[in-house]
């Protein structure tokens, strides 16, 4: 009865690692959210802001849940089905900056709306959230590609 050595062959190990790096690079090349995802996510954020600023508790509650949870979840599912890639893209500096920007816009809009009584304040805040989404999403993709390539 022949036993196998538990020491891996260095040449085979290097070849296997090279194959893993090639596969990761190919996967990184596929990380590109579709244009419709970015637009729909931005519109979802704008919808959320405007619903919350509506002054109606039911509209704010339902609009907040739909705009911040339901629509983004459906969009992530649809994008992963469309591209064949599903991963957490939101663990990067641009994603953190994006989240900070959304919170700052929400805080400013809410302060203007409820603190100063400017009933229309959440509309421009929502439009800025749309613009922020359209600007930051491509940067989040670039960071996700870089993270996948450098994770070696």
* Terminal CA-CA length for the chain: 38
User: CB-hemisphere CA count at 13 Å for 55?
Assistant: 10
Mean pLDDT estimate for the chain: 87
What residue ranges do the domains of the chain occupy? 34-150
Burial class (CB in 10 A: 0-12, 13-18, 19+), 115: exposed
- Distance from C-alpha of 81 to C-alpha of 33, rounded to nearest angstrom: 11
Structure tokens at 80: 């992963």
- Distance from C-alpha of 144 to C-alpha of 132, rounded to nearest angstrom: 18
127 vs 9, more confident: 127
pTM reported for the whole predicted model = 0.79
Q: Each residue of 35-93: pLDDT tens digit?
A: 999 999 999 999 999 999 998 999 999 999 999 999 999 999 998 888 777 777 788 88
């Amino acid at each position: 009865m022949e036993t196998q050595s538990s020491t891996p062959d260095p040449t085979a190990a290097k070849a296997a690692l090279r194959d893993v790096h090639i596969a990761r690079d190919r996967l990184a090349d596929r990380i590109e959210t579709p244009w419709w995802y970015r637009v729909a996510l931005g519109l979802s954020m704008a919808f959320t802001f405007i619903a919350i600023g509506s002054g109606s508790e039911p509209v704010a509650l339902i609009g907040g849940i739909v705009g911040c949870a339901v629509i983004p979840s459906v969009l992530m599912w649809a994008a992963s089905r469309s591209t064949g890639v599903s991963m957490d893209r939101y663990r990067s500096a641009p994603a953190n900056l994006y989240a900070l920007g959304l919170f700052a816009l929400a805080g400013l809009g809410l302060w203007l709306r409820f603190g100063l009584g400017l009933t229309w304040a959440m509309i421009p805040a929502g439009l800025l959230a749309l613009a922020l989404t359209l600007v930051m999403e491509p940067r989040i993709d670039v960071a996700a590609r870089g993270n996948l390539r450098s994770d070696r």
